Structure 1
Amino acid sequence: MASDPLAGVPLLAARPLARGERWVFSAGFNVPPALSGAATARIDSEAADLARLSDAGARVALLSHQGSHRDGTAGHLPHVAAYLSRVLERPVRYHPENASPGAVRAARRIRDGEIVLFGNTRLHAGEERGDPELARTFAELGDYVAVGGFSKAHRAHASNTGLLDHLPGWAAGSLAAEVRFLAPWAAGPGGAAVLGGRKPEKTLVGFAEMVGRLDLVVPAGVVLNTVLRALGHDVGASELGERPEACLRAARAALDAPGRTRVHVPTTVFTVPADQVGTEPARPVRIADGVPRGHAVVDFAVEPWALTGLSGAQRVLLAGTPSRHLDGYTHASEAILRALPADALLLGGDTTTELPWRGPASTGGGSALQFLVEGTTSVLDALRSRTESSRRTA
């Protein structure tokens, strides 16, 4: 990684602002209507830049996502506008559309110093596949773009990298702050990681890249189910997440590669019938015997040697909740949290919301993993490349 992880990235903090400028602010709030202290961190992180833009008389069209079009969880965002109005101590209007002629007209009516939050970008199927036409329509909401939302910095989505194909862009303070915060954890080999949760990047980026680099990796959650499959174990009806076959191939390749890493594979897991998760107590099952038909792995027993390895590691990352903690299956989560050193780093919005942790944390999950592994993210690369392109054509 370069000595300065933000080298070549244009920063909003360094750009003078002028009254009447039309800005699209691409945030990454992704918070449910039932806001809590932990859930609002992604909103709070953008408050300083939004206030600075507003105080300078800029006209701000604010974009964000919540949930996903793919699984029907995408919803509307009036709760975010209401919360921002309280935090910023000024009205933040909500316009439920974002890619219609009406949305473009609403953006053109924004007054100096006003902030308007537009509708959830993930109400469009094209958002997550980076549809260029959708990105072009988003770009009609302003003349410049500020990219925040570090939690989505690994996504090549229409409201992320797509906007930068049409508008000059700057990295918001929240994005820059997370990169600087994470940089010390990205230095050098060694250390340990716990990789859990449900998202495929925990396997495709985390497990695939960290096996061979770190001293210890503890698969958990869907990553553990995938690793067990890769080792030939029957996992019954256990959750395998999105892109299960791609994750299986990545897990097999990582397990077959030579390296220094010890990969923890439990001898005992805890299972329940898949249709009774959260309502029935879990029963221990020897993994050598296979998960019973129709049952799902919800927890596991961490071997003592792995807990010792975590407690003594120089750098420890935990990305993704290890077990179905919120459903009451807390054996692995509690054991791992007790073993973690005080300066361990937790990654991901779900992880930091679900687990009782008071140490260092980043609400970026997949984006933090991408940065820690590659030293950059998709959005940082896009900001750099657009800047280089503009210099060449100037």
Structure 2
Amino acid sequence: MSSDASTTPAAIRTLDDLQVGGKRVFVRVDFNVPLAGPAPADSPAPDEIITDDTRIRAAVPTIQRLLADGAALVLAAHLGRPKGVDPALSLAPVAARLQQLLGETVTLAPAVVGDAVTAAAAALEPGVEGKRILMLENVRYEAGETKNDPELARGYAALADGVFVNDAFGAAHRAHASTEGVAHEVEQAAAGLLLQGEVETLEGILANPGRPLVAIVGGAKVTDKIGVIDAFLERADTILIGGAMAFPFFKAQGHEVGSSLCEEAGVEPASRALRDAELKGCRLLLPVDLSVGREFSADTEQRDVDGVDTPEGWMGLDVGPKTAEAYRQEILGAGSVFWNGPMGAFELATFAPGTKAVAQAVADTEATTVVGGGDSAAALQQFGLGDQVTHLSTGGGASLELIEGKALPGVEVLRA
């Protein structure tokens, strides 16, 4: 492990830095939740439409804190990737679900900006229950949102009284009008409780982790995660590699990969990572056995391979039992653990044991455990372990970019 770690970034401004009593506050939240289907135009039934309300629940503490501090709120969020106004991606069911969670009226604006929205915002009454929460329609209905259009950002700011709070960590790696642009148009800007917790936890595991620091990196492509691997080569004591991304490492070592998913573009960076691990004194561990199948299918023929050479006509779809046990021991002996990416095709029951073993170890260890969203979060939920980790990130892409050391526009604009 190298001691050559980058300096800690400047702190972000938080809710404690704001004066919001009697003011309207523009709050960016992450309500990009999965839907079972489009919302009915007449009466949205959120429990039937929203299949996972985790992100809505995650925003509630910030909303409740701002309300308790005497503010009225203009909430902004996106849902999906609409091309213009798309009723199927209306935030109506989200507003209905948030209203259920808060036990208070949440008014859905008819649009994102415009005279009717301005009037609805002006009608808010800070401190008056039932008249203090307005939710804008899907901000991506406006083409200027993803272009970080200054005029749209000024329009957002005009709906508030000079205060902006960003609690949408999952969108903080985007320089959009509602995540970055609006911060330049207000007098006060700060992070909500969720975004604050995400940034402090992720930066903390890099800057001052409990030792040993074990990073578990899985998934399909080395090229998607090489930045994360590089970051942990500088800071971690041990890196555990799993998933299809292990095969470029095997190929770099001269092993047979059979019909396994093996990203050709990942072979060179995998080879480089192996060299760098030795130079930096970081243990980079690869699987030692595999669970293979004839094809990517729930009912395919399966066999265990003692070793990592995949037979011709077979594909590696999970780590084997020896690897799962070795990785479990590494995790149980850790002081801090970061996990992003499954060990195999965990969505297929036959090839879920490796990922389940890692998930269970992450839940069982006494270490500080940080899970970087995405498939790892899905795996924890699938195995009923989502509430047994220290921190479960709500932003897969944002969490990885922060770990890589990239500047997140929605965070940087809030630095003190």
Q: Shorter-chain TM-score: what band?
A: 0.7 to 0.9
Give 1:314's match in structure 2, choosing from 335, 349, 356: 335
Residue number in structure 2 paired with 1:173 = 193
Shift of 1:336: 2.0
8 Å CA contact 1:216–1:264 kept in 2: the answer is yes
Q: Give a deviation string over 1:110-139, Cα, whole Å, max 9, x none.
A: 522432223344567876xx5222x64254
CA contact (8 A) 1:196 1:202 kept: no
TM superposition shift of 1:106: 6.2
Of residues 364, 371, 394 in structure 2, which corresponds to 1:347?
371
Q: Where does residue 64 of structure 2 map in the other structure?
A: 51
Query: Which 5+ residue runs of structure 1 have no aligned equivalent?
Result: 388-394
The percentage of counterpart residues that share the same residue type is: 22
Q: Matched residues in 1 for 2:169 and 2:134: separation?
A: 21
Structure 1 residues 18 and 121: alpha-carbon distance in aligned structure 2, compared to 1, 3 A threshold: same
Equivalent residue, structure 1, for 2:13:
10
Q: Aligned equivalents of 2:259 and 2:141: distance in 1?
A: 34
1:229, CA displacement in angstroms? 5.9
Match for 2:180: what amino acid?
A: T
Specify whether residues 132 and 377 from structure 1 end up closer, same or farther in structure 2 by C-alpha distance, changes over 3 A only: closer
Question: 1:28-107, aligned counterparts within 5 Å?
Answer: 28-33=30-35, 39-54=52-67, 58-68=71-81, 75-95=89-109, 97-98=111-112, 101=114, 104-105=117-118
> Does the C-alpha gap of structure 1 residues 203 and 349 become closer, same or farther in structure 2, counting only changes over 3 Å?
closer
Could you say what secondary structure the match of 1:207 adopts? helix
| CA distance, structure 2, for counterparts of residue 207 and residue 330 of structure 1 | 23
8 A contact 1:201–1:366 mirrored in 2:
no
1:217 is the counterpart of 2:239: yes
Q: Which residue of 1 aligns with 2:285?
A: 264
Take 2:78 and 2:201, find their aligned partners in 1: how far apart are those partners? Answer: 24
Partner of 1:392: none
CA, structure 1 residues 376+16, in 2 after alignment: closer, same or farther (shift >3 Å)?
Answer: same
Which of 155, 165, 171 aligns to 1:140? It is 155
Return the alpha-carbon distance in structure 1 between the equivalents of residues 124 and 318 of structure 2.
53
Name the TM-score, length of structure 1 as normaliser: 0.75
Structure 1 residue corresponding to 2:391, chosen from 361, 365, 377: 361
Cα distance, 1:210 vs. partner? Answer: 0.9
Quote the residue 2:261 is aligned against: 238
Which of 222, 225, 230 is equivalent to 1:208? 230
Tell me how far 1:39 sits from its aligned partner: 4.4
Q: CA deviation at 1:317?
A: 1.8
Correspondences of 1:244-323 after superposition (within 5 Å): 245=265, 250-257=269-276, 258-272=279-293, 276-278=296-298, 280=300, 282-284=302-304, 287-289=308-310, 292=313, 297-301=316-320, 303=323, 304-323=325-344
Structure 2 counterpart SS, 1:46:
helix
Q: Cα–Cα, structure 1 residues 259 and 108, in superposed 2: closer, same or farther, change >3 Å?
A: same
Q: Which residue of 1 is the match for residue 411 of structure 2?
A: 380
* Separation (CA, whole Å) in 2 of partners of 1:291 and 1:62: 55
Kindly tell me: are residues 288 and 339 of structure 1, through their superposed partners in 2, closer, same or farther at Cα, counting changes over 3 Å? same
CA change 1:44–1:283 in 2 (3 A) is same
The residue type paired with residue 44 of structure 1 is R
Return the offset for 1:273. 6.0
Give 1:217 shift.
Answer: 1.1
TM-superposed deviation, 1:66: 3.9
SS in 2 for 1:159: coil
1:25 is matched with 27
The counterpart of 2:170, out of the listed 132, 147, 151, is 151
Query: What's the RMSD between the two structures over aligned residues?
Result: 4.1
User: C-alpha displacement at 1:82, in angstroms?
Assistant: 1.6
Secondary structure at the residue paired with 1:43? helix
Query: Is the contact made by 2:198 and 2:393 (CA closer than 8 Å) also made in structure 1?
Result: no
State the structure with more CA Rg.
2
Amino acid at match of 1:322: M
Deviation at 1:148, TM superposition (A): 0.6
Distance apart, 1:26 and its partner CA: 1.0
1:196 counterpart (204, 218, 229): 218
Letter of the 1:117 partner, please give it: M
Q: Distance in 1 between matches of 2:315 and 2:413?
A: 40
8 Å CA contact retained: 1:57, 1:112: no
What amino acid maps onto 1:359 in structure 2?
V
SS in 1 for 2:179: helix
In structure 2, distance between residues paired with 1:124 and 1:321 = 36
What is the CA–CA distance in structure 2 between the aligned matches of 1:101 and 1:29, rounded to whole Å? 22
Aligned residues: 370
Asked if the contact 2:292–2:317 (Cα under 8 Å) also holds between the matched residues in 1, the reply is: yes
SS of the counterpart of 1:308?
helix
The residue aligned with 2:129 is none
Letter aligned with residue 273 of structure 2: A
Q: 1:119 to 1:282 in 2, by over 3 A?
A: farther
* Residue in 1 that maps onto 2:133: 115
Kindly indicate whether the alpha-carbon contact (under 8 Å) linking 2:121 and 2:134 is maintained by their aligned counterparts in 1: no
Alpha-carbon distance change, 273 to 156 in structure 1, aligned in 2, over 3 angstroms:
farther
- Displacement after TM superposition at 1:147 (Å): 0.5
